[in-house]
Structure 1
Amino acid sequence: MTAEPEDVRLRGVTEDHLEIFLAFEHDPEAVRRSRFTPRPRDAFLTHWRTRIFPDPDCLVRTVTVDGEVAGNVVSWTQGGRRFVGYWLGRRYWRRGIGSRALGRFLTEEEPVRPLYADPFAGNTASVALLEKHGFTRVGEPDEEGFLLLVLDGPAAKTP
């Protein structure tokens, strides 16, 4: 008997999701893999309330799994380029959830191409996820170890 596939969905972010996102950002293993310094609670909430929510250029969605908040996917413009990023709670890693969420975001939510991503090169799971969806590497990692990838056309079809 096989388990039922998990129901992965994207929905709008609400204020009550922020505390969950904050906990995910402070997970020590996520910090190690992403090389992202987690913000203190007040700075995190201020960032979301003053820079993410009111910015019409910022497209952000909550990822849910069977109705539970699992993380987020976001796109924004920086330096004339459109970027995508994502963050999932550790309990949702290695289950295909990131792949399904990113695939939906790329095909249903974010039409802009080229679309860039810049994960830490040592986060091999994140780099592989992006490549699975059709992103290609642009050069070598920068001096801080981050790798630029670009998606020029439609997202790759994934199961």
Structure 2
Amino acid sequence: MLSNKLNIELRPTEISDLDTLFEFQADKESGYLAAFMPKDPTDRLAYVNKYSKLLIDPTVNNQTITFNNRVVGSIGKFVMEGNAEITYWIDRKYWGQGIATKALQEFLTIETSRPIFARVAFDNPGSQKVLDKCGFKIVGTDKGFANAR
């Protein structure tokens, strides 16, 4: 259940956050549910190189999610095929606590690009609930290749 007492904060992602965020991506169960993964989710150098470039891209809005002053995830907006899309990732230890929902609600107040889209694997009910609680509506389905699967 989402509580107003959740001490969630968003701040611009910094290079120093990337090692922690990489560790979250390296979790196989999380990667399977995310589905949209790099070919080699264990390649730290590729991850750091990719996100170092994204941090200076003016079309990308990367934010780090903290809970009680601890980095617990990330959220961001990027542009794909001309559409603004969101992405988020929460450390599996913090799933089910309302953190993703509160972070997305807050993110949508600071990121004003509209329309904004999200993609979710069909068998990821947790993320589907987050998007539903934040007002996202299903506008289509797709079947595509996912490296994590």
**1:9/1:63 contact within 8 Å kept:** yes
Q: Distance in 2 between matches of 1:58 and 1:39?
A: 23
1:79 counterpart (72, 75, 81): 81
Q: TM-score, normalised by structure 1?
A: 0.83
Contiguous gaps of at least 5 residues in structure 1 = 147-159
Q: Secondary structure at the match of 2:58?
A: coil
Specify the alignment match of 1:48 in structure 2.
Answer: 51
Q: Distance in 2 between matches of 1:77 and 1:31?
A: 22
Q: Secondary structure at the match of 1:46?
A: helix
Deviations for 1:24-75, whole angstroms, at most 9, x for unmatched residues?
A: 001111011111332510100000112x111001001100001000111100
Identity rate, percent: 30
1:64 counterpart (52, 63, 66): 66
Q: Rg larger in 1 or in 2?
A: 1
Q: Secondary structure at the match of 1:119?
A: coil
CA RMSD of aligned residues (A): 1.8
Contiguous gaps of at least 5 residues in structure 2 = none
1:145, distance to aligned residue in structure 2 (A): 7.7
Q: TM-score, normalised by structure 2?
A: 0.88
**2:12/2:63 contact within 8 Å kept:** yes
Q: Distance in 2 between matches of 1:27 and 1:124?
A: 18
**2:73/2:91 contact within 8 Å kept:** yes
Q: Distance in 2 between matches of 1:132 and 1:83?
A: 17
**2:14/2:55 contact within 8 Å kept:** no
1:58-137 → structure 2 map (5 Å cutoff): 58-107=60-109, 109-137=110-138
Specify the alignment match of 1:35 in structure 2.
Answer: 35
Q: Distance in 2 between matches of 1:138 and 1:43?
A: 33
Larger RCO (CA under 8 A, 6+ residues apart): 2
Q: Distance in 2 between matches of 1:25 and 1:74?
A: 15
Q: Secondary structure at the match of 1:137?
A: coil
Q: Secondary structure at the match of 2:79?
A: strand
Q: Secondary structure at the match of 1:136?
A: coil
AA in 2 matched with 1:91: K
**1:11 pairs with 2:14:** no
Q: Distance in 2 between matches of 1:143 and 1:33?
A: 15
